[in-house]
Amino acid sequence: MINNAGILRDGLLVKVKDGEVVGKMSEADFDAVINVNLKGVFNCTQAIVPIMIKQGYGRIINASSVVGLYGNFGQTNYVASKAGVIGMTKVWAREFGKRGVTVNAVAPGFIATDMTKGMPEKILAGMVERTPVGRMGQPQDVAAAYLFLASDEASFINGHVLGVDGGVVVGT
């Protein structure tokens, strides 16, 4: 099973101008991201893992993000959700490993998807500049990581967070 849903509702926790609070992240935006990105992973895993345990085999792969490892400006809700996914991955790896079910996470960096298409060109160029391999990732880069973690070749990998980020965490 691949838990791969995710949404963004970026914004500053508190926006300050001239020493005054002029805005803040809404509770609705915070809740929406947590509900899809974190609670969705919880709900889907809780629904499928009994079947995997019964059959004595399973692979659960959770979509996290490099920002779940190092944070990102203006993404309190998104970072919290993706860091939470990493935490759940590690707990479930311990809970289910002896039952034949491995649980891992993939932490993509800047991937050329619909989520990044709407970003300003200047921001995208900065992302590429900070990425040691000098390009944005492609969806097939992430798919290859999922395919490997789902395979029998990854049977001894459990509780791991695999960065698919072109080295961006190294360059951070």
Q: In angstroms, rounded to a whole number, what is the distance separating the alpha carbons of residues 13 and 25?
A: 5
The 3-state DSSP class for residue 40 equals helix
User: How far is residue 50's CA from residue 160's CA, in Å, rounded to a whole number?
Assistant: 21
Residue type for 83, please?
A: A
Alpha carbon 97 to its chain centroid, in Å, reads: 21
Which one of 57, 70, 78, 146 is the catalytic residue?
78
21 exposed, middle or buried (CB, 10 Å; 0-12, 13-18, 19+)? exposed
Largest CA distance in the chain: 61
Are 3 and 41 a contacting pair, CB within 8 Å? yes
With residue 87 as reference, give the H or E element that holds it.
Answer: helix 76-96
**Is residue 78 flagged as an active site residue?**
yes
Which residues are identified as catalytic? 78
